[in-house]
Structure 1
Amino acid sequence: MNRLNGRTLHSRRLFLQLGGVAAAGVLIPVACAVRASCAGHVGETVDRAWDGSFTDAFALLRRNWRDVMAGSGFDAAAEPYRKRLAALGRTAARHRDAMAPTVTSLWPDLAFPSFIRIPARLLAMARAYVLPGTGVTGDASLGAAVAAGIDHYRRHVYVAGADPVGNWWDWEIGVPKRLLDAAVLIGSHLTDEQGGALAKAVDHFVPECRLDDYSGTSTGANRVDLCTVTLLRAALGSDPGRAALAVAALAPVFSYVDEGDGFHRDGSFLQHTRVPYQGGYGAVLLTGVATLLAVLRGSPWEIDNRSRQFVFDLVEKSFAPFVHDGFCMDVVRGRGIGREPYGDHRRGREIAAAILLLSEAAPARERIRWQGMVKGWAVPDSGRPMLKAALNSDLGFHARLASIMTDDAIPAAGEPTGHRLFPSSARAVHRGPDWCAALSMASSRVAHYEYGNGENLRGWHTGSGMLCWWAGDGHGDQYSDGYWQTVDPYRLPGTTVSTRRLPDGAGEEWGETCPPARWVGGATDGTYAMIGQHLHGFESSLEAFKSWLFLDDAVVCLGAGITCADGVPVETVVDNRRTDATLIVHEAAGWAHLEGHGGYVLPAQAGGGRMHRLREERKGDSTTRSYVTLWLDHGVDPASAGYVYLLLPGASPARTCARASDAGWVRVLANTARRQAIQVPSLGITAVNFWNAGTVGGLTADGPCAVLVREIGDGTATLTVSDPRCDLSGLTVTWDRPVAGVHPSPVDDLVSVTTGDRLTLTFGRLADLAGSSTTVTVRMS
């Protein structure tokens, strides 16, 4: 649920002028009046086209809605659908028979008023009414009971003219969406009088002018939900003008934004202005848009090709990078990370379901690729098997997923290796051959954490360089099975934190917890990455400079300038695994290994630091879980402390020992508050985070930036540069190596190249790239 952010970007008149309802030339104009419904709101006339009657159009819309929302595409007489449908029918009949309306109740077993459970129960009954094989399909008494329940709730709770109490979302999205959904499904069982009264109530809480401006709580996922409510309201009253408004008001969702809520060009999705949210509001938005595309198909309000393609592009740009083995990574789930065990798997299923529904409207190339991708997610999802879970939630999704799972012509696609950096949301995802990691940071543009509605009250340090990772098979539930309910919130993996105690819900609600640091991000060529965070501790005097070099089989982790005056110890948490696996520690040799998970190395360059360890049982609510924690203690009030360690996901004890014994495998060239630089000779990599201008490892930069150099071995090299601060109007980077030329030529207009005894790259306004990287390939002399 969003809160006001004060931005007004688009008016409704502009939406209508944009023509975001149908592709040009498809429709024959027919005038439909969009009526005013707010004081001072000016009605407008919208020209729409349709070569049939609007009676037919709304019949099609309602039929499509039933097929998409109730489910279709399966044989109701075949298992496992027969048993599941029969169970739905028995439940619906039981609810029908138990209904006992009074002024203060609809069912004796449910509190009244209930903004969630009562509307949800009515909707479940309506779905049993329209689905085949339930035993109450088309049952008049069930349809009448749903209609009576909707009207009872409308008269005693959702009352036209009443003042909404509590969360705005319940009144404008949650309640009307479920009531209207149920009303559309049961059709004529809701009398004209009842339907008119429900429409009047919806118009009171969600008037047409609610869609006038793309601002406040009417952005991103909330905007899609409000448009869905408006479309259902149009279907209830066969109102073509309102249907046109619902679709036209989606227009801002189908455009990239430069700040705040919505999709950014690097694939980031933010809601509440500063919170990365593909695994929450983003999944809701994707589901909503996929639903609307399917429902509006063939109608006079069909969404145009440009908008459809915008959404299709987001599948692999914004969502797929954060799904691993069927679950959605917690680094983009905002305050929802601790909402429920296995909530990450539920969000992963929602994203997968939306993608399969979208695929039905996508070109063949995308459809085939997405089906293989979703199948690849479902096959290893052992924490909560996707196909089994779908049967209990969405029969239409189950039918689509079952179809591709049993189709040998659709191979399960593996997740692509390499690196994806999302500068606009301070997130990064890296995939090696058999492992995956996700990094969560905070900046002046991205919140430390979000809490609200009493959720995620101890998520303070999730933006302090939290590094979650998964390796091999069997650990897909590492952060799912009670992790956030039991983990020590001061020892999240990868973070550097002051151990100063914090109150629950410290800081501002809804993501208003941004630190002052602007240098957050890094350079990536798509395979490797050098990422950095200028860390300011949450409600602390802590300051640190953290860097991560992501490689094929390792992450090199550096910290420098760790300074604090809180009067308490400062720690860097190497890892905090929910496991009771065997831990082997060879302190003298500088390495440790956690059975079935991976290895950890403290190189000699770490300065003799000691890796502390703790095995404990932790309780939360009624949940108890086993943990192994590894950390580095920087002492009380450190002054410019540092660290170096290697994370080896999936490594065996032998490989961990070998890496620890190979003193030259990684070379730390600098680890200070001015520069952090790493060389990996075997990979031809030199990587530098220039916190300030300077020289190191043969590289010189005249401003703060990130540089990643790869000498390929075929006579070429790549230099990748970025401006993580997003403020450089110019930058010069020099590599002290002889270079014959640029390959290929010419390079981007943003950079000019001088070759010879040394390479000089002169960049223009890197700030315009919003933190994204630029790569130049050269031929070595």
Structure 2
Amino acid sequence: MAAASPSRRTFLAAVSGAALALGAPSVGHAAAGDEFDTLRLRWRDLILGTGYDPAAQPFAGALAALGATAAGYHAAMAPAAGSLWPDLPLAANSAHITSSWARLNAMAQAWAQPATGHTGDAELVAAVAKGMDHLYDQVYNERTSPYGNWWDWQIGSPRLSLDTAVLAHDALTAGQTARCVRAVDHFVPDSAVASYSGTSTGANRTDLCRVLAVRGLLGRTAAKLALARDALSPVFPYVTSGDGLYADGSFVQHTYVAYTGTYGEVQLDGLARLFALLAGSSWQVTDPARGHVFDAVEHAYAPFLHDGLVMDVVSGRAVSRGLAAGDPGGVPADDHLRGHAIMAHIVMLADSAGAARRDRWYGLVKGWVARDTYRPALTDPGLGVADLARLATAARSRVPARPEPVGHRLFAAMDRAVHRRPGWTAALSMCSRRIAYYETGNGENPCGWHTGDGMLTWWAGERGGGQYSDGFWPTVDPYRLPGTTVSRKRLADGAGGEWGAARPDTDWAGGTTDGEFAVTGQHLEGLDSTLTARKSWFWLADEVVCLGAGITCRDGTGMETVVDNRDLGAHGTPVLTVDGVRQPGAQGWTATFRHARWAHLDGHGGYLFPGGTRLSALREERTGTWRRINPGGSTEPVTRRYLTLWTPHGTDPSGAAYAYVLMPGASRDATAARAADRGHLRLLANSGRRQAVEVPALGVTAANFWTAGTAARLTVTAPAGVLLRRTGATARIHLAAPDRTGTPVRLRWAHPVRRVLSAGPGVEVVRTAPALEIAVDPGTACATRTVVVRTG
């Protein structure tokens, strides 16, 4: 398994918000003498940005901060045998080489950018040149054999060294530029992209092509630019396994990890830059399959962006990065910073996508910017000048802001689902033989064991966008992630293995959707545990119905299902009400309710327990550090308050079950009224064989059949997820087979049917009377099959 890049937070901190998109005018541009010069100057502008006022905020502040950071690096630089900075010994860690290049890059940016206080500073750029020579002499040269992490040698260091050489080009000698090029040729030969395999896939392949393209323009080598362009082509087609973009909008890296928010962000950034760099040149990207990149903005990226953040369920081990060491009072590399970067990349790509797409994407970005009140994007101190400028371009355009959509998206290829309703959004993280429980590697995220055990995250109410941003990951109990069913068995750091190796031996994770409502299910097997369970989620208009059954374990420890675990912030004391009774707000308070029917947490939402349940509750303060979950993290203690609700299943249960309903953003009165409405929700089945519900007011019957069987009037001959919706005399039946065996399924609906209005691909109508019977070829990709009928 290929190791991945070091912490993006470390990289961002090292370059002090280096540009990731387009932004403002720079100094020292020479007239373009030929096409190589034209591309070099264009790349310089892509790094530094164009079109903003350096005297206006937030740009003036960002430029001043860049200047201060660069000055600090300059003052601390002390070339010596084995290091360029004393705190970054080059032989000790390959990441120190990349970090050294990052500091030189920040210094070069401060020299090249306006209004940094060091613009055009001859002494500063001379130090950059001296540092480049020193790194070449000491370690980054054609005589060195790589050690440590491959990423530093083939992506991290070459990207930064080449960008630094482009920025400082007019102050470097031809010999200095040639040495930079020779070193890159040594570590990133043409063979790095000869095969689309190993570490040369997905976002990594895009990064390698970026290195080859900049090396080509800097070294004035047409063949390198042609190679970079052509080697992008394997990135464009949809994949059906392993790394890359899938037709359903999934993005996977490291073979088994859902990674839209991190490696997907890197891929979007790299492709947007390369499209812009090569546009109109002799090496323009013309592969027709590049259209998938444009489609992905709305199909793959936008579904995971919510009010400016990108959901943690698709960010892999990056959730552990948070606040970097030595950065007290800094900006955590959280879901908002990652989301803002993706938004900036979308704006950058828009210039290559045509006017219609550009306007739609500007509307998306404008909406996200307007709604992000947790960390306003246009003043995010974690962003560089160019990102800020690109976001400002969209936010200040005349295009109307687009609202968050309403609907459901199922990403079957990476075991994820997103449900959006007016006022709230939820996301589900599952795992299977195809997708890991979690990812750990390079010491990052060692305790993320249960992330794929049905973790259900949601945003609504007063905490809104800060729910999983404000110190959640270093302080949450990792055995009580919201929505999960877990054994309390203690697990070792990194249990299950690195780089997505930790996967269950199960296939069922997925479901079916009509684009508004959905059915999802997961056959859960515990990590390093004997736990087995069947979990289902029914996604409806203002609620998510959560069922679990067949919960069995022989670990000799307690078992529980975590209804929720809300981060209340550093000082939060929202009122918890259980069955109409206000509960104590003191920290350390705990209670068990023998037959709870409903609960409500002010400013968050409500919870229903059909038929009543044994419910445990806990208020506690938890303290942790980012260093505990990431070796590059801060050691500064972080304390947050939590309200945890869970259903205990006892020690070593056999066939235990649970049922609860989540109502995000609901008021206390709305929650109490729904609990009193005994006819709203009918639990038709909750066993290890089938789980099914009916909501008459919505015309919905929904079921997960884990085996052939019957629920209400629905009968199937093989495992399947089924969603039936009736509107007047029209009924729509949606079916998928999340076990992905390809076994044909016959479905019978014991209801008179007048005629068939439509039958989608893979559906054969066998008969309509005395009941509807269809034969379904479900395929092996958990695709939804649909039939629409007029009832009699």
TM-score, structure 2 normalization: 0.89
1:661 aligns to 2:676 (yes or no): yes
Correspondence for 1:414: 403
User: Whole-Å Cα distance in 2 between the matches of residues 275 and 403 of structure 1?
Assistant: 33
User: Whole-Å Cα distance in 1 between the matches of residues 131 and 86 of structure 2?
Assistant: 13
1:720 aligns to 2:752 (yes or no): no
Select which of 738, 761, 773 maps to 2:752: 738
TM-superposed CA distance for 1:561, in Å, is 0.5
Amino acid across the alignment from 1:397:
D
User: Whole-Å Cα distance in 2 between the matches of residues 706 and 434 of structure 1?
Assistant: 27
Gaps of 5+ in 1: 5-53
2:337 and 2:383 in contact (8 A); partners too: no
Select which of 365, 383, 393 maps to 2:383: 393
Amino acid across the alignment from 2:356:
R
1:184 and 1:235 in contact (8 A); partners too: no
The 5 Å alignment of 1:370-381 reads: 370-381=361-372
1:65 aligns to 2:43 (yes or no): yes
Correspondence for 2:718: 703
Point out the more displaced range, 391-400 or 63-72: 391-400
2:519 and 2:539 in contact (8 A); partners too: yes
User: Whole-Å Cα distance in 2 between the matches of residues 735 and 56 of structure 1?
Assistant: 70
User: Whole-Å Cα distance in 1 between the matches of residues 414 and 506 of structure 2?
Assistant: 14
1:309 aligns to 2:309 (yes or no): no
| SS of corresponding position for 2:545 | strand
TM-superposed CA distance for 1:184, in Å, is 1.2
- Return closer, same or farther for 1:401/1:599 CA change in 2, 3 Å cut-off: same
| SS of corresponding position for 1:642 | strand
1:601 aligns to 2:608 (yes or no): yes
User: Whole-Å Cα distance in 2 between the matches of residues 566 and 636 of structure 1?
Assistant: 8
TM-superposed CA distance for 1:89, in Å, is 3.7
1:499 and 1:569 in contact (8 A); partners too: yes
Task: Name the % identity.
Answer: 52
Amino acid across the alignment from 2:348:
L
Correspondence for 1:178: 160
TM-superposed CA distance for 1:98, in Å, is 5.0
1:421 and 1:524 in contact (8 A); partners too: yes
| SS of corresponding position for 1:610 | strand
Deviations along 1:470-490, one digit per CA (max 9) or x if unpaired, are 113542111111111011111
Select which of 54, 65, 70 maps to 1:76: 54
| SS of corresponding position for 1:505 | coil
TM-superposed CA distance for 1:422, in Å, is 0.6
Select which of 94, 100, 114 maps to 1:132: 114
Select which of 47, 60, 79 maps to 1:101: 79
| SS of corresponding position for 1:429 | strand
Correspondence for 1:2: 2
User: Whole-Å Cα distance in 2 between the matches of residues 461 and 156 of structure 1?
Assistant: 43
Select which of 234, 243, 260 maps to 1:261: 243
Deviations along 1:475-515, one digit per CA (max 9) or x if unpaired, are 21111111110111111100001111111111111111111
TM-superposed CA distance for 1:537, in Å, is 0.9
2:718 and 2:743 in contact (8 A); partners too: no
Amino acid across the alignment from 1:679:
E
Correspondence for 2:771: 758
| SS of corresponding position for 1:382 | coil
Deviations along 1:451-470, one digit per CA (max 9) or x if unpaired, are 11001111111111110011
Amino acid across the alignment from 2:786:
T
TM-superposed CA distance for 1:3, in Å, is 4.5
TM-superposed CA distance for 1:401, in Å, is 1.8
Correspondence for 1:554: 543
Correspondence for 1:205: 187
1:2 and 1:222 in contact (8 A); partners too: no
Amino acid across the alignment from 1:752:
V
1:642 aligns to 2:640 (yes or no): no
User: Whole-Å Cα distance in 2 between the matches of residues 746 and 646 of structure 1?
Assistant: 33
Point out the more displaced range, 483-492 or 771-780: 771-780
The 5 Å alignment of 1:604-615 reads: 604=611, 608-615=612-619
| SS of corresponding position for 1:767 | coil
Amino acid across the alignment from 2:200:
S
Amino acid across the alignment from 1:779:
R
Correspondence for 1:671: 686
Deviations along 1:379-402, one digit per CA (max 9) or x if unpaired, are 12122211101x653222222222
Point out the more displaced range, 445-454 or 190-199: 190-199
Gaps of 5+ in 2: 5-31, 323-331, 580-592, 626-636
| SS of corresponding position for 1:270 | strand
Point out the more displaced range, 556-565 or 120-129: 120-129
| SS of corresponding position for 2:427 | strand
Deviations along 1:128-159, one digit per CA (max 9) or x if unpaired, are 22223334434443333212211111111213
Point out the more displaced range, 217-226 or 82-91: 82-91
**Superposed CA RMSD:** 1.9
User: Whole-Å Cα distance in 2 between the matches of residues 636 and 552 of structure 1?
Assistant: 36
Select which of 559, 562, 567 maps to 1:573: 562
Correspondence for 1:592: 599
1:64 and 1:296 in contact (8 A); partners too: no
Correspondence for 1:582: 575
TM-superposed CA distance for 1:212, in Å, is 0.5
The 5 Å alignment of 1:522-541 reads: 522-541=511-530
TM-superposed CA distance for 1:357, in Å, is 0.4
1:543 and 1:562 in contact (8 A); partners too: yes
2:462 and 2:604 in contact (8 A); partners too: no
* Paired residues, number: 724
Deviations along 1:258-297, one digit per CA (max 9) or x if unpaired, are 1011111111111110100001111111111111111112
Select which of 615, 620, 623 maps to 1:619: 623
- Return closer, same or farther for 1:83/1:642 CA change in 2, 3 Å cut-off: closer
The 5 Å alignment of 1:392-541 reads: 393-407=383-397, 409-541=398-530
| SS of corresponding position for 1:709 | strand
